Amino acid sequence: VIVILFGPPGSGKGTQSQALAEKHGFFKLSTGDLIRKEIAEKTPLGLEVQSIVEAGEFPDSALVNQIAEKAIVDNITKSGIVLDGYPRTMEQVNFLDKILSGLGKKIDVAICLGVDENELVRRIEGRRVCADCKTNYHVEFNPPANDGICDVCQGSNLVQRKDDTRDVLEQRLAIYNKETKPLLDYYDQKGVLTTISGMESPQEVAAMVEKILANVELDAKSTGINA
C-alpha cells in the first residue's frame, strides 16, 4: 500500500509514519529527513540547500522530486511506503503520479491529521530528535524512558532541530495553508482522503490510522485491485 500523511508541521506525521514502519515494515519516506541527512553529511546537494532549509523555506520541487523518486524506486518492493512531507505542491503531486503509474502503483490512501495552532507550537517547541537514529521524541508528550537516552539506539544525542522555532513554524504553516491544503481537494476527489483528529495521544491517533488502513485493504480485496 502507498499512504500519504498530510497535516501541518508538528501534527504528528513523522510519529505516525514511524509507527507504521515499525508495525508493518513500511518504508518511511520523509523528504525532510533525507534532505537533513544531505545537510549533515555536507554533500554538494546538502550545502546547496542548507541555508534555505534552516530559514524555514523549502528547496525547489525539482530537487525534492529527484530525492523522492530515488527513494520510491529503491523501496517499491516493501510492504508499503508512507510518504511524510511529500508531496507538498501540485507540481510534486503530478510528478508523483507519473512515477507511481510507471511502477504500476497508485496512492491507496491519504490521511490528514488535524491539529490546532496552539498545540502545534507546543509540539514543535518540545520536539527532540535522536541525532543518531532520527527517532523523534517530545520533552513532555513523548519522552524517552530514560532521561536524555534514545529508546531505540541508546544514543545520548537527543537534539532540537535548528528549524524548530515558533517563527519557522508560523512561516511553514502559512506555506502549508497556501500550497499544500489545496492538495487535499485533489485526493478527496480521487476518493482516497480521510481526515482525522491529530489532537489525541500518539497511540490513539495510531489506532485510527490502523482502522483506515484495514478498510483500504478490505476494499482492495473485494474489488480484486492489487493493493
Q: Per DSSP, what are the bridge partners of residue 112?
A: 6, 195
Identify the residue among 62, 133, 159, 174 touching Zn ion (CB under 5 A).
133
Identify the residue among 5, 49, 120, 150 touching Zn ion (CB under 5 A).
150
Is the bond leading into 87 cis (omega within 30 degrees of zero)?
yes
For the chain, the straight-line distance linking the first and the last C-alpha, in angstroms and rounded, comes to: 5
Q: CB-wise, 93 or 158, nearer to ligand ADP? A: 158
Identify the active-site residue in 28, 88, 123, 128: 88
Chain positions 194 to 223 lying near ligand ADP, rule: CB under 6 A, are 200-202, 205
Q: What does residue 21 show for φ and ψ, rounded to 5 degrees?
A: -65, -45
Identify the active-site residue in 13, 28, 123, 128: 13
Q: CB-wise, 153 or 159, nearer to Zn ion? A: 153
Query: Shortest Cβ distance from residue 134 to Zn ion (Å)?
Result: 7
Q: Per DSSP, what are the bridge partners of residue 30?
A: 84
Map grid coordinates 534532505 to a residue: 35
Chain positions 138 to 157 lying near ligand ADP, rule: CB under 6 A, are 138, 141-142
The reply to whether 166 belongs to the active site is: no
Q: What share of the chain is helix, strand, coil (3-state, %, to 5)?
A: 50, 15, 35
Size of the site for Zn ion (CB under 5 A): 8
* Strand-pair category, 127-130 with 136-138: antiparallel
145 to each of 140, 201, 207, 213, how far by Cα in Å? 12, 17, 22, 29
Pick from Zn ion, ligand ADP, none: which does 138 bind, CB < 5 to 8 A by kind?
ligand ADP
Residues forming the site for ligand ADP (CB under 6 A): 7, 9-15, 123, 126-127, 136-138, 141-142, 200-202, 205
